[in-house]
Amino acid sequence: MNISEFAKEAGVSVSAVSRYFNDGYLSDDKRALIEEALQRTGYVPSYSARTVRTKVTKLVGVILPKLSSESISRVTEGISEVLGREGFELLLVNTANDYSREISSLELFRQNRVDGVILLASVFTDLHRSVLAKMRVPVVIVGQQLKGYNCVCHNDMGAAYAMTSLMIEKGGKLPAFIGANPDDNAAGRDRRIGYEKALADHGITPDPKLMEIAKFNMDSGYEKAKRILSGRKRPDCIFCATDNIAAGAMLYCREQGIKIPDEVMIGGVGDSRMGKVLYSPLSSVHLHYKTAGTEGAKMLLAEMRDSSDVRRILQLEFDVVERDSTARKYETV
Amino acid sequence: MNISEFAKEAGVSVSAVSRYFNDGYLSDDKRALIEEALQRTGYVPSYSARTVRTKVTKLVGVILPKLSSESISRVTEGISEVLGREGFELLLVNTANDYSREISSLELFRQNRVDGVILLASVFTDLHRSVLAKMRVPVVIVGQQLKGYNCVCHNDMGAAYAMTSLMIEKGGKLPAFIGANPDDNAAGRDRRIGYEKALADHGITPDPKLMEIAKFNMDSGYEKAKRILSGRKRPDCIFCATDNIAAGAMLYCREQGIKIPDEVMIGGVGDSRMGKVLYSPLSSVHLHYKTAGTEGAKMLLAEMRDSSDVRRILQLEFDVVERDSTARKYETV
DNA sequence: CTGAAAGCGCTAACAA
DNA sequence: TTGTTAGCGCTTTCAG
């Protein structure tokens, strides 16, 4: 059933029906007529037909590298909370860490399918930049900084610096690092820089043999911890770029009977929910993922309402969460 | 720019352009002309205009109670994998456990916005049934069974039965139960039935004082474990309806110095990733969440292609994963 | 406040 | 193969 059939059914004009669903410039009796017919027929207007006219989709495209990650799903939860409240739906694309899908999704979103885009990418290539430049709707990037775009990000460098410093101040003399893909400016590069800066500020020279790059999962953390801890020089504290990596490292220590924190301290980033129930409760740095989502969504809403020429970077601060994994009973002096 | 402006720009007819993007019934020179103009202008056809004509949205609505849950995000990952491969996008609604939003999303999806719907609800009310009955596109329910609908679900009863039996066979004489909302037929009701059946089959009478209902999170598991373990009769094994609840219970035991598994065994359901890095690695029952997502998506695809009158229920089996939390060193006879 | 009518951008039937 | 054209279902002037 379309609007004119329905209008006939209700005994009113097409415009009356349209007004009923829009501005509501309508007399009460017509309104009643329409409501009655609505009950009777179950008519629902077609969204796409409306979109053809109004150019409004009430849809926001969200591009994610992964769904089943705690940090990402928290961000998404924040996004959906704010956008849902404003009557927007999420058109979600899970790229499964396939960069080419990031590009093709952006292309897709150019087809007037969405009113705005939120992008959670981990790496930006030139291709990204060129497709982004062609977008005709506002874009907000969450979790990363990209010049020329509105971004909500974390203080990754500060977070890594704080966690590493904590371990050094607890007596760590020989720190090790298990990081993430350096092409990822936030979790990879910045957290590494933070680690190195903490070492420098405490007069420690980083040992390249004690630095590894892991994937974003436990198994990889386990493997890298194995390499680091089976070397000749055994570190007394390990900074891990994510809590998942840290959990994997902890698993290895447990298996090998390496005491945490007395023999090795472990620190992570992200403050994931499992942290406090781990074998040794994990010290971590809380990043405000959900807030990143809500703020990113608000930024996008503002841009969709009226676009500004001024680009904004919102950096969210962190909170260090100290737990057992860095709680040295005695400070080895 | 619209199709006729673009056609003029390319020096071809409107239909040539339309054919370029659709059937491809087109001579090579025209094709070349169009491709060249595409480069030059950056024209992209409007999806909604196409939808008005074709009634195809290439969108699937997915309704979830929550985003940041490992089990749900695994299901969603499965869904997005299969549907993405077939060129469908996900229109995601996070109801945040608000049942009324489940209803309103279904209403929304009736507005010809999606070609099909996948529903991950936890509870079905009469209102659900009445809205579902009005849907004009195929619907698949994942994680629950609802009569008259295509469903993909788990063997929740069997899973609970298996885990409870395991603990009893390991020497558990006085089992306790921390379950979930009984209105949730899968995680609430069926897992409870499985627990009770295991007790009955082993000649144990369930003690109502040793049965609690928790929310789907750690804190709640902690609280309920506290109640159960501070009673006069202390159980020697606790079946928890989810791994999160189990992790909370474990936290309480740890705080109180209650030895796992020697004083109390703990078993969960879901086999979440944190299980193996917990304080005491958690015995659990692996449920095939991702497969539930892929199978649900396939079922929906089949229905969208041509709808069948026959309703199908696909039940996925489980795998018991034994870890330390139920590994009694000596069996207390 | 109301209704008629002209599109929105596209697809597909039709005739060539 | 091709181009013309009549819609798809809706919104929104415009004149009343």
Over residues A176-221, the pLDDT tens digits come to 999 999 999 999 999 999 999 999 999 999 999 999 999 999 999 9
Res A102: pLDDT = 93
Look at residue B270 and tell me whether its pLDDT is greater than 60: yes
| Per-residue tokens: A8 | 């006939």
CA of A15 to C1' of C16 (A): 39
Closest chain A residue to the Cα of B65, Cα to Cα: A77
Res A331: pLDDT = 54
Is the pLDDT higher at B253 or at B122? B253
CB A66 within 8 A of CB A244: no
Give the mean pLDDT of B22-40: 89
CB B153 within 8 A of CB B186: yes
Nearest to A277 among B80, B84, B250 (CB): B250
Alpha carbons B141 and B305: distance in angstroms, whole number? 18
> Is A90 in CB contact (< 8 Å) with chain B?
yes
List pLDDT tens digits, range A91-130.
Answer: 999 999 898 999 999 988 988 899 999 999 989 999 999 9
Res A116: pLDDT = 97
Res B310: pLDDT = 94
Res B167: pLDDT = 97
In this structure, which amino acid lies at residue A297? A
Cα–Cα distances (Å) from B314 to A271, B140, B145, B242, B292, in that order, read 37, 11, 9, 22, 9
Question: What are the start-end ranges of the E strands in chain B?
Answer: 59-64, 89-94, 116-119, 139-142, 150-154, 175-179, 211-213, 237-240, 265-267, 284-287, 313-316, 318-321
Look at residue A24 and tell me whether its pLDDT is greater than 80: no
CA of B28 to C1' of C15 (A): 23
Instruction: Look at A73 and B68 and tell me if their CB atoms are within 8 Å.
Output: yes
CB B251 within 8 A of CB A276: yes
Res A274: pLDDT = 95
The rounded mean pLDDT for chain A is: 94
Give the mean pLDDT of B288-302: 98
Interface of B with A in 276-295 (CB under 8 A): 276-279
Look at residue B333 and tell me whether its pLDDT is greater than 70: no
Cα of B31 to nearest chain A Cα, Å: 20
- Residues 145-164 of chain A within 7 A of strand D, judged by CB, are none
Res B173: pLDDT = 95
Closest chain B residue to the Cα of A61, Cα to Cα: B91
The rounded mean pLDDT for chain B is: 94
List pLDDT tens digits, range B159-212.
Answer: 999 999 999 999 999 999 999 999 999 999 999 999 999 999 999 999 999 999
Closest CA to A63 of A88, A33, A95: A95
Cα of B223 to nearest chain A Cα, Å: 15
**Residues of B in Cβ contact (< 8 Å) with A274:** 247, 273-274, 277-278
Nearest to A111 among B45, B62, B84 (CB): B45
CA of A45 to C1' of D5 (A): 26
A19 contact to strand D (CB, 7 A limit) = yes
- CB atoms closer than 10 angstroms to residue B56: 11
| Per-residue tokens: B234 | 């202390």
Instruction: Look at B76 and A67 and tell me if their CB atoms are within 8 Å.
Output: yes
User: Closest nt to A55 (CA→C1')?
Assistant: C8
Give the mean pLDDT of B229-254: 96
Is the pLDDT higher at A174 or at A26? A174
Interface of B with A in 10-49 (CB under 8 A): 42, 44-49
Taking the mean position of all CA atoms in its chain, how far away is CA B290?
8
CA dihedral sign of residues B243, B245, B247, B250:
negative
Half-sphere exposure of B89 (CA within 13 A, CB side): 26
User: Closest nt to B55 (CA→C1')?
Assistant: D8
**Residues of A in Cβ contact (< 8 Å) with B91:** 59, 89-92
User: Closest nt to A7 (CA→C1')?
Assistant: C3
Give the mean pLDDT of B42-66: 94
CA of B17 to C1' of D3 (A): 11
Banded pLDDT at A330 (limits 50, 70, 90): low
Give the mean pLDDT of B277-292: 97
Taking the mean position of all CA atoms in its chain, how far away is CA A238?
25
Res B103: pLDDT = 93
Banded pLDDT at B71 (limits 50, 70, 90): very high
Instruction: Look at B94 and A84 and tell me if their CB atoms are within 8 Å.
Output: yes
Res B220: pLDDT = 98
Alpha carbons A124 and A101: distance in angstroms, whole number? 13
Instruction: Look at A94 and B80 and tell me if their CB atoms are within 8 Å.
Output: yes
Instruction: Look at A218 and B277 and tell me if their CB atoms are within 8 Å.
Output: yes
List pLDDT tens digits, range B213-222.
Answer: 999 999 999 9
Give the mean pLDDT of B63-89: 95
Give the mean pLDDT of A254-280: 96
Residues linked to residue A154 through DSSP beta bridges, in sequence order: A316
Which chain D nucleotides are covered by protein, judged by CB under 7 A?
1-5, 7-13
Res A139: pLDDT = 97
Look at residue B26 and tell me whether its pLDDT is greater than 90: no
Task: Identify from B67, B69, B271 which residue to disrupt to test chain A contact, counting A C-beta atoms within 10 A and taking the largest count.
Answer: B67
Q: What is the DSSP string of B80-125?
A: HHHHHHTT-EEEEEE-TT-HHHHHHHHHHHHTTT-SEEEE--S---
CA dihedral sign of residues B249, B250, B252, B256:
positive
